Structure 1
Amino acid sequence: MSVKDLSLSAIVAGFVAVLVGFASSVAIVLQAAAAAGATQDMMASWLLALGIGMAVTCIGLSWYYKAPIITAWSTPGAALLATSLQGLTINEAVGVFIFTAALGVIIGISGWFDKLTRLIPLPLASAMLAGILLQFGLSIFTSLQSQLLLVGIMCISYLLAKRLMPRYAILWVLLSGLISVLLQGQFDYSAVTLSFTTPVWVTPHWSVSALLGVGLPLLLVTMASQNIPGVAVIRTSGYQTPVSPLISSTALSTLLLAPWGAFSINLAAITAAICTGPEAHPDKDKRYIAGIAAGLFYLLAGLAGASVVALFAALPKEMIATLAGLALLGTIGANLAVATNEGEHREAAVVTLLVTASGVSFFGIAAAFWGIIAGGLTLLLVNGLRRSR
């Protein structure tokens, strides 16, 4: 790294990317940890492990390739875990993280990334993801029953921000929610403490049903909704960084940090666009500084994980549910559009969505897996019969 490449705009871009990433989805990560039965100390350890993993990959990959390589946790993956980890122990959850990460390393090293993403039709993968996220969207409106004023203010803030400052809509939602909670006296100051995070080791246990029902869908969601868009952002920004090392590096960081709570570290998409565009620096060869800056801010955020967990624990659960739901609203819409766009796949995609959203579980295997199976069978039978006529 050259000192002459440093720029305030690139550093600010890195800071904004981390701020947007944390503010928009940390609530979903904490919900996933809670579903696994994690204590507050374990939740803080999750944020620390993720922060370290994202810091190392952002700094290392950006410096090595001289390109703004931004990594992130998988928000759709966290949403999947929040709805699929009930009934599993925290030890089995860590086993799922290790299993998924190991497969990611193999996919990255072998160069199978493109082949895997073509194996399952995109409409079915999008339908599965929409089915996973549907409950988060519904939680916005169920929260209105108990916190009409708070949730109403957050929703109005979201709509206004989407019109005026769409990139920072979730930040405005968070700020409006915090102000509303403070004015209504719903914030428990005594629960918030400033402290550094202590890592908590969890010994992994492996369950075949958990690996199939949660691990495989987590792998698919991470690849389809994070790594593929992440690669697209890098390519459309004019960087020809090789893909396989990026996939294997992020998966390896997840593998090493999984016992402390790193469930999925992958390429970023939305936040990556903040660092890869001309706003970060007019010269694209100097935008890699934004990636390095993002890594440093990720590290600071991870070290403060205990304080972040305490802060969110002191807030009303309706605020957290609404924040998560609004953060995922665009993703739900985009995936529904992809799922139902092609007539050939529409029925199969709808079946995938309904089975996934239903939450059904057979043989201890979660609904996301059965959604893909049901959609795949529908596609084979319906389209096969149509072609035979």
Structure 2
Amino acid sequence: MERSLYGTAPGSTQPPIAGLVTALVGFSASFALVDVGLRAVGADQRQAVSGLFASCLAVGGLAIWYGVRRRQPISIAWSTPGAALLVTAGRQHGGYAAAVGAFAVAGALLVLTGLSSRLVGWIGRIPAPITSALLAGVLLPLCLAPVRAAVQIPSLALGPIIVWLLLSRFARRWAAPAALAVVLVEVAVHHTGRVGGMGIGLLPRLSFTVPTLSVGALVGIALPLYVITMAAQNLPGQAVLRGFGYEAGLRGPLLGTGAATVLGAPFGVFAVCLAAISAALSAGPDAHPDPRRRWIASVSAGCVYIALGLSAALAMSLLAVAPPLLIEAVAGLALLTTFGGALAAAVGAPDHREAAAITFAVSASGISVLSIGAPFWGLVCGLAALLILSPRRKSASVRPAT
């Protein structure tokens, strides 16, 4: 009898196992990045725990809702590129409350996009090399963290790096989660007393932050967060579903994930969206040979996400006592593949190469002008360069008839 990727014969247990793998991989590979991102924009320990817990509830609840209602394996995730963007954006004028206001505005833009197919078209018309260069520029600082950690704290960093390298060769899907597991073991062994004395508690609690509006945060966080979530998560996520034969329109998912982001923003939800990379785990044939049964996998993943959310306090407490550079290094290891793909897509088209290079350089520069971070200026400079260089490209493409 044919066996699936997960080691079981096709049957009733296969979709739940696929959902379990989807949630475990998605959560463990990127929850450290959520912690780093929320802290970068000013969240304290309790607010970071609340953000992870609320995001798990939103992701899990929406996955269950869409799976049961549509009978399609629509996987939901938090925006991993969005979390990386928060690291680049850093603390805003107005503090964490201003960042929370930016999260809500980004969610509102997702809702508006769901209500207007024209906005989807506008985002889709931004050349892929530009959005890929923006993503690569946002990810670069984090992807450099493993290098810096290997030099500055080798006793802690080399173990996770070696585990990541080995599993990248033999079990790529589990490479980043295994590297994080090594870090958590190191922290548990060396800092158990500090974890127990933090007073956070084992069960997570939601912490409400009143949002405020800041021009710098709206332009430096909300707009790039919206663009990068649409370009790097929602549009590819829809493409994955279509690739497996599911006609999943964007309107419903955008309305649901946008509304969840708006409502969850005061609790730390920065961006909920369609899953892109992990979407294939629930939508592909390994979830079930019959496409009509694969929705059970995404629903199972949603249930597991909610259960994993209950570990948010413990997980964040362990991360809180680890050296910040070590956590950034683990997040960077998880993003290296995404960074490589984005960089390759950015420079792959000769007609857009200069504009993409400008987008990448500015986005990765870490500059702040008018209290607005580098990702926004990278997008602006890249699009401006594209407009300036396009006439040159067009004229160069004209050849006299022979």
Determine the structure 1 residue equivalent to 2:240. 233
SS in 1 for 2:287: coil
Q: Which amino acid aligns with 2:259?
A: L
Distance apart, 1:40 and its partner CA: 1.1
1:27 alignment partner, one of 32, 44, 69: 32
1:147 alignment partner, one of 146, 153, 169: 153
Q: Which amino acid aligns with 2:181?
A: L
Are positions 1:207 and 2:214 aligned together? yes
Aligned residue pairs: how many? Answer: 383
Post-superposition Cα deviations, 1:318-359, rounded to whole Å, max 9, x if no partner, equal: 431221010000111001101101111001111111111111
1:130 alignment partner, one of 125, 136, 139: 136
The answer (yes or no) to whether the contact 1:13–1:275 under 8 Å persists in 2 is yes
Q: How does 1:84-103 map to 2 (within 5 A)?
A: 84-88=89-93, 89-103=95-109
Q: How does 1:195-274 map to 2 (within 5 A)?
A: 195-274=202-281
Distance 1:369 1:190, change over 3 A: closer
Are positions 1:187 and 2:191 aligned together? yes
TM-score by length of 2: 0.91
Distance 1:44 1:178, change over 3 A: closer
The answer (yes or no) to whether the contact 1:109–1:245 under 8 Å persists in 2 is no
Measured in 1, the distance between the counterparts of 2:262 and 2:11 equals: 32
TM-score by length of 1: 0.94
Are positions 1:337 and 2:344 aligned together? yes
Distance 1:325 1:103, change over 3 A: same
Distance apart, 1:179 and its partner CA: 4.6
Determine the structure 2 residue equivalent to 1:81. 86
Distance 1:189 1:236, change over 3 A: farther
1:177 alignment partner, one of 178, 183, 187: 183
Determine the structure 2 residue equivalent to 1:65. 70
Determine the structure 2 residue equivalent to 1:15. 20
Distance apart, 1:157 and its partner CA: 1.7
Distance 1:135 1:70, change over 3 A: same
Are positions 1:164 and 2:170 aligned together? yes
The answer (yes or no) to whether the contact 2:81–2:135 under 8 Å persists in 1 is yes
The answer (yes or no) to whether the contact 2:92–2:217 under 8 Å persists in 1 is no
Q: Structure 2 unaligned runs (5+)? A: 1-9, 397-402
Q: Structure 1 unaligned runs (5+)? A: none
1:111 alignment partner, one of 104, 111, 117: 117
The answer (yes or no) to whether the contact 1:85–1:93 under 8 Å persists in 2 is no
1:294 alignment partner, one of 283, 301, 317: 301
Measured in 1, the distance between the counterparts of 2:175 and 2:185 equals: 15
Measured in 1, the distance between the counterparts of 2:183 and 2:107 equals: 35
Distance apart, 1:106 and its partner CA: 0.7
The answer (yes or no) to whether the contact 2:187–2:321 under 8 Å persists in 1 is no
Are positions 1:354 and 2:361 aligned together? yes
The answer (yes or no) to whether the contact 2:363–2:377 under 8 Å persists in 1 is yes
1:384 alignment partner, one of 363, 371, 391: 391
Determine the structure 2 residue equivalent to 1:285. 292
Post-superposition Cα deviations, 1:43-98, rounded to whole Å, max 9, x if no partner, equal: 11101211111111100000011011110000110000111032341110111011
Are positions 1:276 and 2:283 aligned together? yes
Distance apart, 1:249 and its partner CA: 1.0
Identity %: 38
SS in 2 for 1:87: coil
Distance apart, 1:180 and its partner CA: 5.1
SS in 2 for 1:266: strand
Q: Which amino acid aligns with 2:249?
A: P
Post-superposition Cα deviations, 1:1-26, rounded to whole Å, max 9, x if no partner, equal: xxxx9932211211111111111111
SS in 1 for 2:69: helix
Distance apart, 1:194 and its partner CA: 5.5
The answer (yes or no) to whether the contact 1:188–1:315 under 8 Å persists in 2 is no
Distance apart, 1:368 and its partner CA: 0.7
Measured in 2, the distance between the counterparts of 1:319 and 1:361 equals: 25
Measured in 2, the distance between the counterparts of 1:242 and 1:356 equals: 31
Comparing 98-107 and 294-303, the one that deviates more? 294-303
SS in 2 for 1:242: coil
Measured in 2, the distance between the counterparts of 1:188 and 1:344 equals: 55
Measured in 1, the distance between the counterparts of 2:209 and 2:12 equals: 41
Comparing 278-287 and 263-272, the one that deviates more? 278-287
The answer (yes or no) to whether the contact 2:73–2:295 under 8 Å persists in 1 is yes
Comparing 76-85 and 187-196, the one that deviates more? 187-196
Distance 1:109 1:362, change over 3 A: same
Distance apart, 1:366 and its partner CA: 1.2
Comparing 199-208 and 187-196, the one that deviates more? 187-196
The answer (yes or no) to whether the contact 2:92–2:216 under 8 Å persists in 1 is no
SS in 1 for 2:100: helix
The answer (yes or no) to whether the contact 1:186–1:316 under 8 Å persists in 2 is no
Measured in 1, the distance between the counterparts of 2:111 and 2:119 equals: 10
The answer (yes or no) to whether the contact 1:151–1:318 under 8 Å persists in 2 is no
Provide the aligned C-alpha RMSD in A: 1.9
Q: Which amino acid aligns with 2:195?
A: A
Q: Which amino acid aligns with 1:169?
A: A
